Amino acid sequence: MIIQYFFSLWIIYNMITLGHSAKDKILNFFSPCSEETLRKGDDYCIDGVFLNVLSNSDVYCSLSFIDSIDIFIKGINYLSDNFISNTNKTFVVELDGSFSRIKDLDDFYFTKENLPSLAFFNCNFDQKICVQQNATLIDYKSNKVYIASDESEENKLLESPYSLSHQDENIIINEKCPTINLGFGKYVDILANIKYLKIPPCTNEDLEYGGDNYCFLGIFLFVLNGHSPYCYINFYDINHFLDKIINNYYSGAVFVVELDRSLSRVKDLEDYYFTKKNLPLAVVISCDFNQELCIQQEAILNDYKSNYVYVSNNEYKKNRFLDSSDYFRKTGYLVNYNYSVNFCLSDTLSIPFGSEGPYLMENNFEDYNDPFNPFDKNIYPLIRSAERIIYKEIPVAYSNIYYVDAESRLASPSYSFGTYFNKTFSCTLDGCTIYKDIPLNSYLNITFDYQNYYYWGYATTFKNDSFGHVIISKKIDDDIYAFTFDVNVNNNNYNTYGKLIEHEDFMKNLSSKDINHSMLFNCKNNICIETKGFIKYKDINKNRIKVNFCEYHTFCNVEVTSTECDKANIAYYNTHTSKFILCVNDEKIKNQYNSLEINEKELYLSLKNYDTMKYSLITSDSGGNIIAYSNEVGVINFKNDENIICEKNRNSETLLSSECIKQNNSTEGFFLENKTYQLVYCDDNECESNYSKNGYFTNTQKFIIKCFAGRCDYFTNNVINCTGHDLEMVSLSNENIAFCYNNTIHALTDKTHYFRVNDFNVKSTFPNKKQGSDTILIKVNKYSVTQYTTNVAGVCYNPLTYEFVNTDNCTYEKYYCSDICNSCTATIDTTKTYLQSNLIFKCSSGISEYTKLKNKLFLILVISIVLFMLF
């Protein structure tokens, strides 16, 4: 961006110094190139942001890359990108009589009208030459066309999935600005014909009386009457104008303009101040470049001399100085609060001048001349504040419905967590009106994870407080939930927001339509991930209890007709016993199924493989109306009877369900505790917790766990070889677990080995790794890879066998490793404490967390002694 900005200044410099001044070049073009002229041309050159057609080295016509702000920015980006990289750039240009535009095929398509007007250029910005060429192009609608470079050939359609359509009659290219319709389908370029069409410069009276619709073209702002411009403002201060545009292209910009009848200049409030003479000449114009919309604004401004002024947007309210020293709040005015200037959103609430916003003001205006008074008690002004200006917000294009924070009055098209007014607001350029009540319930805003192929989202709860406001919070218990979505039945799409079905609703308030539009989610810590299972509910239309099946990625729209356990992993409702039943495989006899009664909030195991004795973990919800696959992992105490060890189902396409084994004497290694995600070591039918080392860990199930700074999680590290995975525990293609050292695979065995690393940065804290000049030792055994520390005796290391030998009379390498935050040394360091137990979790700036704790305790001890001696 910085390079592009400086290059844009280079463009401006060329425009000013080459041939004509910038002003002359804009107002007095060489003859604009017509379609016929360009077809005959065979020699071109680039001058600033102009493409000139040459005849015997003389320019005889020109086309500009600055037909609008959008194209102006594209032109600068094209020019700067390709000038600096010394590469060629191709342009598709649409010729419209006397006016030409660059076209981007990502958002442009060919029509019968525009196809004859297209030309193709290949420009080299290092040599400053362009060549018109033949080209075959494909637009975003997959229309394929041939563009000719010679007048003897015509442009033609090659392929099209549909017949090449006529241009939409409702769309005029850059409809607000570039052309005037003179009738009979003839359009005239207003930029190239300002003098010919006798469009005058805007005067103060022009803006006072009129324009509320504007458009940009080049460095001109045109005031429109309908779609026709009747005066223009020349942003002659082009440096400041470009700075505004380039820095605010995606967010919009506000311009303070001083009108002096024949010439208008953009003013920078950092070096401009208001006087009685120039204040009446001030107007404020704000532009949203994404919406291609500019409007004249009423605004409150603060100049560099700390003058505060009100600038009107009509002839009836006058520009005037404001008092910023008042201590009484009044809506729309300034107040001195805590020795700073604030703006009053209401008679009781003010914000510091410069708070960004947007904010919704209260509508309790008392006087016609009050700033931002909409003259309608049903309209609430929506304002935005910048460093030196407060003005009306231009609502976002994709949504004009706003949520408003009840405490700060901050408005947004989306909600976060906090306290809001209980109604949403519909906002336009005039302001906001009350739209509708915010519904009270719990909702799920889902998105699709394309990498892992599942839906997930955050659960949000809407509740009333005692003041009638709506509290939006992340407060939902860990459970299995069903959410129902609004559906377009024509294409079976659903919105991203789902409404929670409460537990008590399943037996009294649901219809088959509600369930047919619902999905199941496993929610934990307010994060919900889709699952599959079964829902039991009472259909209020049929007055009977039904069970529906819910598949991954779709709705619960399949009614279960089974009345007995004729296969595994189904659920049905037994009308004779009035019980919700789950069917599972018998653990001893194949093709035989057991019936389990589904209770509230209970875990169930369903055997899925008789050879491996692996189970699916299934859980019910708190109401006993949902049974679904669980995604719980780790060591789980199953029904207070035995431990089960569950991992993510590595064979599952969606990774949404758990795969479990019952813990026995063949289950060894490190696992994660289900609730805390802390390390647990299991051996001989027992599991022991309180393991808290950094490093990599695994188990007989061949899953990798990575621990750092007291937090452990599963670590997927499937590799073919060790390239790029040095000092990591990896899972090979045969599912064996290994350790990578010097890009070599080392198998994990019953024997413990130690690996010396000489180029490590201990501040990064293993298993994180960063290159440095420190030496560490890595301990590798059957189930773990950790950094090794020694006691005061040190170790004698044999680098050939990766083992320690007798430390007496060591003839190999001697190492003393005090802790994980210090490099190992060849001699003992008497200033360090040697921690063979390795109590440190994280190194920060060379100081361990353990050392920090010792320092804090020492400081507390010193302070305590001092206080004791004083008192």
Inform me whether the pLDDT recorded for 831 exceeds 60: yes
The whole-angstrom separation of Cα 178 and Cα 286 is 19
The whole-angstrom separation of Cα 64 and Cα 50 is 5
**782 or 67: which leads in pLDDT:** 782
Whole-number pLDDT of residue 576? 94
The whole-angstrom separation of Cα 445 and Cα 508 is 26
Neighbours of 163 (CB within 10 A): 8
Phi, psi at 854, each rounded to 5°: -60, -40
Inform me whether the pLDDT recorded for 170 exceeds 80: no
Inform me whether the pLDDT recorded for 294 exceeds 80: no
**pLDDT band at residue 118, thresholds of 50, 70 and 90?**
confident
Inform me whether the pLDDT recorded for 70 exceeds 50: no
pLDDT tens per residue, range 253-278: 777 877 654 455 667 777 789 999 88
**pLDDT band at residue 59, thresholds of 50, 70 and 90?**
low
Neighbours of 544 (CB within 10 A): 10
Q: Counting beta carbons within 10 angstroms of the beta carbon of residue 275, is it exposed (0 to 12), middle (13 to 18) or buried (19 or more)?
A: exposed
Inform me whether the pLDDT recorded for 558 exceeds 60: yes
Whole-number pLDDT of residue 120? 82
The whole-angstrom separation of Cα 755 and Cα 781 is 11
Whole-number pLDDT of residue 149? 80
Q: Are 62 and 52 in contact (CB under 8 A)?
A: yes
Three-point CA angle 574, 580, 586, nearest 5°: 90
The whole-angstrom separation of Cα 445 and Cα 495 is 9
Whole-number pLDDT of residue 853? 46
Element (H, E) at 471: strand 470-473
Give the rounded distance of the alpha carbon of 315 from its chain centre.
Answer: 43
**313 or 176: which leads in pLDDT:** 313
Whole-number pLDDT of residue 744? 94
**pLDDT band at residue 523, thresholds of 50, 70 and 90?**
very high
Question: What does the pLDDT average to over 138-161?
Answer: 79
pLDDT tens per residue, range 406-443: 999 999 988 888 999 999 999 988 899 999 999 888 88
Can you give the pTM of this predicted structure? Answer: 0.58
448-452, 533-537, 805-809, range with greatest mean pLDDT: 533-537
**pLDDT band at residue 577, thresholds of 50, 70 and 90?**
very high
Give the rounded distance of the alpha carbon of 158 from its chain centre.
Answer: 40
Inform me whether the pLDDT recorded for 26 exceeds 80: no
Q: Which two tokens stand for residue 289?
A: 């470049």
Whole-number pLDDT of residue 425? 96
Whole-number pLDDT of residue 395? 83
pLDDT tens per residue, range 3-22: 444 444 444 334 333 332 22
Handedness of CA 829, 832, 833, 836 (dihedral sign): negative
Q: Which two tokens stand for residue 472?
A: 């939006």
Whole-number pLDDT of residue 556? 95
Q: Tokens 């061949």 sit at which residue?
A: 702
3-state secondary structure of 19: coil
CA-closest candidate to residue 756, choices 738, 782, 779? 779
Q: Which two tokens stand for residue 111?
A: 């029509």
Question: Beta strand pairing status for 334-337 and 320-321?
Answer: unpaired
41-45, 498-502, 767-771, 778-782, range with greatest mean pLDDT: 778-782
Torsion of CA 778, 784, 790, 795, to 10 degrees: -60
The whole-angstrom separation of Cα 841 and Cα 816 is 19
In the 8-state DSSP scheme, what is residue 18?
Answer: S
What are the C-alpha distances in Å from 599 to residues 480, 538, 636? Answer: 13, 17, 19
Instruction: List the domain boundaries for the chain.
Output: 2-167, 193-317, 323-437, 442-631, 708-852
Question: What does the pLDDT average to over 179-185?
Answer: 42
Q: Are 164 and 129 in contact (CB under 8 A)?
A: no
Whole-number pLDDT of residue 621? 96
Q: What is the mean pLDDT of the chain?
A: 77
Q: Tokens 């290391």 sit at which residue?
A: 797
pLDDT tens per residue, range 201-258: 776 666 544 444 566 555 566 776 665 667 776 654 444 555 555 555 445 677 787 7
CA-closest candidate to residue 625, choices 727, 510, 734, 723? 510
